[in-house]
Amino acid sequence: MSDAASVHPYIPNSLPRIKREMLDAIGVAEVDELYAAIPERLRFAGSLDLPEPLRSEYALRRHVEAILDRNESCARTLSFLGGGCWQHYVPAVCDEIANRGEFVTAYYGETYGDHGKLQALFEFASMMGELVELEAVSMPTFDWGSAAATSLCMAARITGRRTAIVPASTGAERRSIIGGYCEPWVDLVTIPFDRASGLLDLDRVREAVSDETACVYFEVPGYLGTIETQAADIAAIAHEADALCVVGVDPISLGVLEAPPRYGADIVCGELQPLGIHMHYGGGLAGFVASPDEERFVAEYPTFLIGIGPTIVEGEYAFGEVVWDRTSYVRRGESKEYTGTTQFLWAIAAGAYLALLGPDGLAELGRGIMERARYGARRLDELPGVRAPALDGPFFKEFVVDFGETGRTVAEINRALRHRGIFGGADLSDEYPELGQCALFCVTEVHTQADIDRLADELAEVLR
């Protein structure tokens, strides 16, 4: 075989000449001798049945781009989808930083060689700590659902109890993640939400709480967009029973909404994706957990925790793993929860986002989102047979729209909108049959007045 036929640009030692030198140095005639430990009966005979390779970068790019061009992205299509992943503006600086080769190709946190990466991660935790006013913040979990599941398990271990109260308004997918994960450790009690407001019924919370309750979990804003106005009362009910209060948040709301500990949260968790991270077909999700910096909390984190400390040189910072012996890397089969590679790159992007926005930017952004969402609800509510918001609790960026009186299903309406170049709100009719033909619409800072007017106008045509 000629060198040109065998050489591969990603594999320096694919050159036969170099291979020969290396084999000689090892003292074997063929590479196959190095595989002597694998018995013949376990060897794969023949060649894998894979597509012919596209060896030139150009051919590869043409092929993959042609496939991906069959997608219709939210960059070109006006979208009002939310429901756990949201289209926000991603600042160019966030992309620049998250795309740096040094960060993209680094891995495990190493105090010296990766000092810069660890500092960026510590700064992420520090800024999240300011946002939620808590001193202990985890490295990323897989997503909001895994952050909530871990928070509930932590609460169970901290309190020595094994029941957690979760509202039915948490969303089916997130409840599935939480339920499956918690099943061996925490019994979930699902409580209904008020059909009119989307908020919790305090009497139902009181009924559900007992001396077996490890924690009460709720979200601000919730999956259905509503802001739980009774948050302080719910936290008080939990605390009266010596249970913890766990609150899930969309952190982009925290420039305008209160830091959860101020209304009684003990553990805060949530989703980082809104903070300068592209949706990536859901790949942009990453969760976080935060708590007071008390040993009884910190000892129960399964995640990586990065701390700041000194070096032998005065004034120099170093970053290291805090209580590494907690983690499943050490405890193996004795672990309470596993950890591993999750979504750290997004923590770096989220940190950069918070640094860019600052307190004023975040407050302006939050207010603007709320104004646009209200404008959107108002425009849709004007349409015959359409009710928006269909839940009368206050909302942040998402709101439920009821199409029941139009005689059309959400699926039909969304199909028609799609043909007009619009992705309508997420269909809730399977997830919450009790709501009937409802959809969850999301409006953020990416939507101009003209965008929202276009939605309303096209919807009017569709419903005509």
Pick between residue 109 and residue 167 the one whose CB is nearest to other proteins.
109
Q: How far is the CB of 426 from other proteins (least distance, A)?
A: 5
- C-beta pairs of 117-121 under 8 Å, 24+ apart in sequence: 117/348, 118/306, 118/319, 119/317, 119/319, 120/347, 120/348, 120/351, 121/306, 121/319, 121/344, 121/347, 121/348, 121/351
Q: How far is the CB of 317 from other proteins (least distance, A)?
A: 7
Contact region for other proteins (CB under 8 A) — 155-163, 202-210, 402-410, 412-420? 412-420
Binding to other proteins by residue 3, rule CB under 8 A?
no
Pick between residue 201 and residue 364 the one whose CB is nearest to other proteins.
364
Contact region for other proteins (CB under 8 A) — 161-169, 180-188, 208-216, 401-409? 180-188
Pick between residue 161 and residue 207 the one whose CB is nearest to other proteins.
161
- Kindly list the strands in the beta sheet with 438-442, ordered across the sheet, starting from the edge strand earlier in the chain: 398-402, 438-442, 426-427
Binding to other proteins by residue 29, rule CB under 8 A?
no
- Considering only residues 78 to 117 of the shown chain, the ones binding other proteins according to CB under 8 A are 79, 81, 83-85, 87, 89, 91, 93, 95-97, 99-117
Q: Which residue from 192, 196, 283, 433 is in contact with other proteins, where contact means CB under 8 A?
A: 283
My answer on whether omega of the bond before 221 falls inside 30° of 0, hence cis, is: yes
Contact region for other proteins (CB under 8 A) — 127-135, 201-209, 398-406, 455-463? 127-135
Using DSSP bridges, classify how beta strands 187-191 and 422-423 pair: parallel, antiparallel or unpaired.
unpaired
Are 138 and 233 contacting, i.e. CB atoms less than 8 angstroms apart? no
Binding to other proteins by residue 225, rule CB under 8 A?
no
Binding to other proteins by residue 21, rule CB under 8 A?
yes
Binding to other proteins by residue 431, rule CB under 8 A?
no
Pick between residue 167 and residue 255 the one whose CB is nearest to other proteins.
255
Element (H, E) at 317: strand 317-321
Using DSSP bridges, classify how beta strands 438-442 and 398-402 pair: parallel, antiparallel or unpaired.
antiparallel
Binding to other proteins by residue 4, rule CB under 8 A?
no
Q: What angle do CA 399, 404, 410 make, to 5 degrees?
A: 70
Nearest Cα to 288, choosing from 120, 125, 98? 125
**90 CB-near residues (< 8 Å, 6+ apart):** 276, 277, 278
Pick between residue 246 and residue 279 the one whose CB is nearest to other proteins.
279
Q: Which residue from 78, 136, 205, 265 is in contact with other proteins, where contact means CB under 8 A?
A: 136
Quick one: tokens of 454?
A: 């276009």
